[in-house]
Amino acid sequence: MSTPQNQTPRPASIPDPHVNVDPDLSADPTPVSGEERSAADSALDRETLEDYLNQHLLGSRSGVKMFRTAADTWEGTPYAQRLVKLAEDVAADQRSLEELIARLGMKTPALQEAVGQVAEVAGRLNPVNLTRSKGNGWTQVELDLLQGALQAKAAMWDVLAELADHTPELDRAEMERLYKVAQDQQAEVQKISEETLSTRFLGGTD
């Protein structure tokens, strides 16, 4: 049958309201069930992920102490407070990681917790820069290690962002935010390093 000239044909992409539609096909998506979640992340090796996150958690515990130790090195200078702020931020990131491990239903082995406590003490009592000098090579090594730790943390958040599509408990946007935070922290340490180079390599005073 031809269409009257004064009537616009209905586009094929718009469903006719007079045609019955199966409600199962038009219903809004339902929340992901446990079975669907299992299917979604069936390819994910959760044991490997758990070990990976616990290794980073272990490193973060000593990392917080490393930043506090570095702040002690620069006590009495404007850099001390900047390093204290970084230590607080790194501690907050550590708590975020602990909460994530719990949300994933994973655990931290008791032995690893004990090792982490020892690492915290070691990071405080046996620092790289034993003399707390601002003007020798060990001071630079200390700052380099801080940057390395932050780079590793940024890499972890980046890995988790990529895994978000396979793990419902991972929020890609949040992982990307934490990745950016770690990058900013690394940039701050690099700035401190560059601003204090003269005290080590250009004849500056301690």
Domains and CATH numbers, the chain: 47-197 (1.20.1260)
Tell whether the model's pLDDT for residue 35 goes beyond 80.
Answer: no
Helices 137-163 and 172-195 meet at what angle, rounded to 10?
Answer: 170
What does the pLDDT read at residue 38? 53
pLDDT recorded at residue 28? 45
pLDDT band, very low/low/confident/very high, at 27 (cuts 50, 70, 90): very low
Distance CA 164, CA 103 (A): 13
Tell me the pTM: 0.71
Please report which residue ranges of the chain form alpha helices under DSSP H.
23-26, 34-40, 46-73, 78-103, 110-125, 137-163, 172-195, 198-201
